[in-house]
Amino acid sequence: MKIELDGERVLSEQDFHQQLASALDVQAFYGCNLDALWDLLSTSVERPVTLVWNNSQISKTSMGRAFEEVRGILERVKQQDEKFGWEDKFTYLLC
């Protein structure tokens, strides 16, 4: 599965959560916070998954520290999948 987010529309952490929940069709149960992001991506999303964050520099500038917190969770999920040696993994690209 490929998920694409547009940094021109992700200007806050809440924007990120809303766009991700919509892309994955999990609005009914997703908690829209960093803990929920970890739970969702680390255990609830079927692999393989590639999250492509287009125009991520725009998000980074607008979101500040929240961008790094979200990116940190994305990286932790990626590292977890690699550590487990899974063939089908979570990956992400900041474009």
Average pLDDT, the chain: 97
Residue type for position 90: F
- Predicted TM-score of the model (pTM): 0.95
Q: 37-47: buried (b, 16+ CB within 10 Å) or exposed (e) per residue?
A: bbebbeeebee
The fold adopted by the segment(s) 2-94 is: Barnase; Chain D (3.30.370)
Q: What is the pLDDT of residue 55?
A: 98
Q: What is the pLDDT of residue 12?
A: 98
pLDDT band for position 45 (50/70/90)?
A: very high
pLDDT band for position 30 (50/70/90)?
A: very high
